[in-house]
Structure formats: C-alpha cells, structure tokens
Amino acid sequence: MRQTWKDYESVAERSPFALALKVMGGLFVFALFGVPLVWGLSAVGCFSSLIGEAVQVAREEFGPREALKKYEWFKDASAQLEKKQADIAVYKKRFASLEQAYKGEPRSKWARDDREQHSIWASEVSGVIASFNSLAADYNAQMAKFNWRFANVGDLPKGADVPLPREFKTYETE
C-alpha cells in the first residue's frame, strides 16, 4: 500500500510537535495583535479614569455649593478679623486711659490693682493679636489660592464687586 501525502499530514497533525507549533503560532498572533490591543485598552481606560477624576475634582472645587461655602468662609473670616481689630483698638484705649491717669509715674508707683489690671489686659491683648495674626495668615493664604480667588474683588467682572478685602496684610505686632 502506497502512502500519500495526505497520510503524512494526518499523522503530523496528531503529533505533539504539531500541537506545540499551533500553540506557538497562537501565542505569536496574540503577541502581534492581542498585547497591543490590551495595552491600548488599558491606556484608554487609564486616560478616561484621569479625565473622570479631573471632572470630579473640578466639580468639588468649583461647583456652586463649594463656591458658596468658600465665600461664606471669607465673609466669616473677614468679620472675625474686623472684630479682632476693634478689640485691639479697645485695649489700646484702655491702656492709654490707664497711662493717662498715671502720667509721668513709673509703673512701680501705680496702685496694685491697676498694675494687675494692666498685666491682665496685656495678656488678653497678646492673645487677641496672636489670634488675629493666625486668622489673617489663613485668610491671605486662601485668597492667594487659584481655586479661592473668585472672591477677590479685583478678579470679578465690572459691577460685581464683593466687599471682601484681597488681603489682611497688616499683622498686629504690639
């Protein structure tokens, strides 16, 4: 019986070598087309995730609700700073009044209760000044951030001025 080429092919197809060649060919085709496809899909997924996160951050930082919260924070901080400045002015008047009563006399000659009161006021005004400086630093820092700058009077369109100072620079030192 004479063997034909077809007989050789059928035997070759059933051999382990043929199976290995088919697996290797499949891996080669996958490496040629599949890996770049997977990488491409991964890149698209990563890029769309970054875009989605950027949209979420923009919504959180620049949305109307957040803008209202930030504006209210500025209004509250501005009112607190003005109150602290007024408190400091009251203390300065108290000091001036007490010093006027003892004009020309050293503190050691003052009445004991007046010396004690002066020391108490000095301690209190130091706390108010430290509190003012801390809040003024926060106010200035927030106003300088780009996502809070909408509250700057100079950055708003004409006619839409909001009565918020751009900075509370004048820190108290006395």
For the stretch 129-147, pLDDT in tens is 999 999 999 988 888 777 6
Is 47 part of any domain?
yes
In this prediction, residues 73-91 reach a mean pLDDT of 91
Taking all residues of the chain, what is their mean pLDDT, rounded to a whole number?
A: 78
pLDDT of residue 42: 73
For residues 171 and 138, the answer to whether their CB atoms sit within 8 Å is no
pLDDT band at 84 (very low <50, low <70, confident <90, very high): very high
CA distances from 14 to 2, 3, 8, 129, 154 (A): 20, 17, 10, 92, 83
Does 71 lie in the same domain as 40?
no
Does 52 lie in the same domain as 36?
yes
Q: What is the extent of the structural domain holding 108? A: 64-155
Amino acid at 29: V
Is 92 part of any domain?
yes
For residues 118 and 98, the answer to whether their CB atoms sit within 8 Å is yes
Does 69 lie in the same domain as 41?
no
In this prediction, residues 3-9 reach a mean pLDDT of 66
Does 151 lie in the same domain as 68?
yes
In this prediction, residues 156-171 reach a mean pLDDT of 57
Does 50 lie in the same domain as 70?
no
pLDDT of residue 117: 92
> What span, in angstroms and rounded, lies between the C-alpha atoms of 158 and 155?
9
Does 79 lie in the same domain as 35?
no
